[in-house]
Amino acid sequence: MFNRFKERLKGFKEAVSTKIQEKGEAEAKKAEAERGKAEEGKPQSKTGPAAAEALEAKIPAEDNATKTKQSFKSRAKSLIFEQEVVLDEKDLTDPLWELEMALLESDVALPVAETIVASVKDELVGRKKKIRADTGEIVEEALRSALFKVLSENRFDVDEFIAKADKPVKIVFVGVNGTGKTTSIAKVARYLKDRGYSVVLAAGDTFRAGAVEQIEVHAKNLEVKLVKHKDGKDPAAVIFDAVEYAKAHHRDVVLADTAGRLHTNVNLMDQMKKIVRVVKPDLLIFVDEAIAGNDAVERARLFNEAVPIDGTILTKTDADAKGGAAISISQITGKPVLFLGVGQDYPDLVKFEPEWLLERLLGS
- Please, which residue, 68 or 179, has the CB nearer to ligand GDP? 179
**For residues 339-358, b (16+ Cβ closer than 10 Å) or e, as one string?**
bbbbbeebebbbebebeebb
Instruction: Please identify, among the stretches 59-67, 151-159, 221-229, 341-349, the one whose residues bind ligand GDP according to the rule CB under 6 A.
Output: 341-349
Count CA atoms within 13 Å of residue 82 on its CB side.
Answer: 9
Measured from each CB, the residue nearest to ligand GDP is 341
Residue 25 and residue 240: Cα distance in Å, rounded?
Answer: 71
Under the binding rule (CB under 6 A), the answer on residue 182 touching ligand GDP is: yes
Q: Cβ of 267: how many Cβ atoms within 10 Å?
A: 9
Q: Cβ of 278: how many Cβ atoms within 10 Å?
A: 15
Count CA atoms within 13 Å of residue 236 on its CB side.
Answer: 13
- Please, which residue, 119 or 258, has the CB nearer to ligand GDP? 258
Q: Which of 83, 183, 206, 258 binds ligand GDP (CB under 6 A)?
A: 183
Site for ligand GDP in 21-50 (CB under 6 A): none
Size of the residue set binding ligand GDP (CB under 6 A) = 17
Under the binding rule (CB under 6 A), the answer on residue 354 touching ligand GDP is: no
Under the binding rule (CB under 6 A), the answer on residue 106 touching ligand GDP is: no
Q: Which of 318, 336, 354, 362 binds ligand GDP (CB under 6 A)?
A: 318
Under the binding rule (CB under 6 A), the answer on residue 315 touching ligand GDP is: yes
- Please, which residue, 113 or 215, has the CB nearer to ligand GDP? 215
Instruction: Please identify, among the stretches 75-83, 175-183, 273-281, 294-302, the one whose residues bind ligand GDP according to the rule CB under 6 A.
Output: 175-183
Q: State the maximum Cα–Cα separation within the chain, in Å, rounded to a whole number.
A: 103
- Residue 212's SS3 state is helix
Residue 255 and residue 209: Cα distance in Å, rounded?
Answer: 20
Q: Which of 41, 60, 178, 363 binds ligand GDP (CB under 6 A)?
A: 178
Under the binding rule (CB under 6 A), the answer on residue 177 touching ligand GDP is: yes
Instruction: Please identify, among the stretches 7-15, 69-77, 322-330, 342-350, the one whose residues bind ligand GDP according to the rule CB under 6 A.
Output: 342-350
For residue 337, give Cα distances in angstroms to 155, 215, 334. 8, 23, 10
Instruction: Please identify, among the stretches 31-39, 122-130, 313-321, 354-362, the one whose residues bind ligand GDP according to the rule CB under 6 A.
Output: 313-321
Q: Which of 24, 260, 293, 323 binds ligand GDP (CB under 6 A)?
A: 260
Q: Cβ of 299: how many Cβ atoms within 10 Å?
A: 22
- Please, which residue, 170 or 181, has the CB nearer to ligand GDP? 181
β-sheet bridge partners, residue 349: 341
- Provide the sign of the torsion angle of the four alpha carbons 149, 154, 160, 162, taken in this order: negative
**Which residue type does 364 have?**
S
Under the binding rule (CB under 6 A), the answer on residue 344 touching ligand GDP is: yes
Binding site for ligand GDP (CB under 6 A): 177-183, 260, 315-316, 318-319, 341-344, 348
